[in-house]
A and B are shown apart, each in its own frame.
Chain A
Amino acid sequence: MSADSKRQLGDSSVAQQRFLSLFLRSEREIFRYVAVLVPNVTDAEDIVQQTAMAFWEKFEAYDHSQPFTPWACRFALNKARQWIERRQRWKALLDRGLAEELVQRRQELQPEFELRLRDLEGCLGKLPEGQRSLVEGYYYERASIETLAQRSGRSEAATYKMLQRIRRALQVCVEGQAKPEVA
């Protein structure tokens, strides 16, 4: 192997480590940014992964004096748009300027969201065990609805509905209106 080839591999490794370090630090925010447009977790994760690939290919162009996250979010937005363009249902949700409006409005509401959601962990802790277990299974373990339905002995439709109710209860709780109680 020539000295040039070895140097290129070494440079590539350093760049890659730098990229991974930056991307991992920003990944959560990139995910949330994408999820404003595509809230389904699995789909949003796919888009984040595609963003990582596209970003890595263009990483040489990144100006390291600039903040990484906004740059990565722009990549993510482009990837999300491409993803949405190929899916009629999501186009129906986001067309006629709604995608841009949601991204913009979310930015404006961010401080309020921080305030309203600061006690989310406390509210999760107040959930009855069965409900908390369902939320953990869905969001933390990423268990499928089918699996969660089998575990709880409910139908899949009832499991979806229960998750919906739990989220609503959590929202009421974080907004300080009541302790989360789901019927």
Chain B
Amino acid sequence: MNLSFPSPEFDNSVAGVCHGSATEAEMRALNELLRSNPNARDEYLMRIELHTRLASESGLFSQLADGAASCPLPDSSAGTRQSTLPLSPPVPARSRKLTQVLALAACVMSIAGGVWVLWFRGSTSRNGATSPLISHADRKGPETVGSILPKVVWTLDFWKLQ
């Protein structure tokens, strides 16, 4: 297979590379062309750049982002590539994944903070804890709750990075 530039075959091959659907023969032909034709190589890079900017700059879709600020309901029938919902409008899908980890960490810290307050109040104003969690915290003391946090956050992120 031979490719020329410019040509519809070149256009199709570049699009196939972007979508991950190009065949090995197409990719080999593209390799030959891009190595031998600087104009084709620069045009290829321009098209890839446009494609990756669309994929990485969610700010480009500002109208959609404004709409998403109203917390849309999940569409379970959408069958999207992602299994998670968008968190916030300005964050691209890639960043959303890492942002979710941060959000989870923040939730854990908030819950632990609440437990801490309850434990502190309990230790000063109550003789016995009413919930097993608070009771556990009472027995172990404040450093137990505090020391769990980094481990939980780390575990969440480690899980995410898997």
Q: Is the CB of A177 closer than 8 A to any CB of chain B? A: no
What residues of A have a CB within 8 angstroms of the CB of B51 in the complex?
35, 39, 167
Could you list 6 further interchain pairs (A-B, Cβ under 8 angstroms) beyond the known A167-B47, A174-B50?
A20-B102, A35-B51, A40-B17, A124-B60, A147-B78, A160-B21
Give me the 5 closest cross-chain CB pairs, A-B, nearest first: A40-B20, A13-B150, A93-B27, A164-B15, A35-B52
**B46 contacts partner chain A, Cβ-Cβ < 8 Å:** yes
Asked if B61 and A94 make an inter-chain contact with CB atoms under 8 angstroms apart, the answer reads: no
Point out the residue from A42, A90, A116, A145 that lies within 8 Å of B27, measured CB to CB. A90
- B-to-A contact residues, CB < 8 Å: 11-12, 15, 17-24, 27-28, 30-31, 34-35, 41-42, 44-64, 78-82, 86, 92-95, 97-99, 101-102, 143, 147, 149-151, 153-154, 157, 161-162
Determine the distance from Cα of A97 to Cα of B31 in the docked complex, in whole angstroms: 10
Q: Could you say which of A27, A36, A143 contacts B45, with CB atoms under 8 Å apart?
A: A36
> Are the C-beta atoms of B35 and A101 separated by less than 8 Å?
yes
A163 contact set on B, CB distance < 8 A: 15, 19
Chain B residues with CB under 8 Å of A155's CB are none
Residues of chain A touching chain B, judged by Cβ–Cβ distance below 8 Å, are 1, 6, 9-10, 12-13, 16, 20, 23-24, 27-28, 31-32, 35-36, 39-45, 48-49, 52-53, 56, 88-90, 92-98, 101-102, 105-106, 109, 113, 116-117, 120-121, 124-125, 135-136, 139-147, 160, 163-164, 167-168, 170-171, 174
B52 touching A32 by the CB < 8 A rule?
Answer: yes
Q: From DSSP, what is the main secondary structure of chain B's interface residues? A: helix
- B31 and A95 within 8 A (CB): yes
Q: Which residues of B contact A44 (CB under 8 A)?
A: 52, 55
Residues A13 and B56 in contact, CB atoms below 8 Å apart: no
Residues on the B chain within 8 Å of A89, using CB: 22-24, 27
A residues within 8 A CB of B27?
89-90, 92-93
Q: Is the CB of A9 within 8 A of B154?
A: yes
In the bound complex, how far is the Cα of B63 from the Cα of A12, in angstroms?
Answer: 40
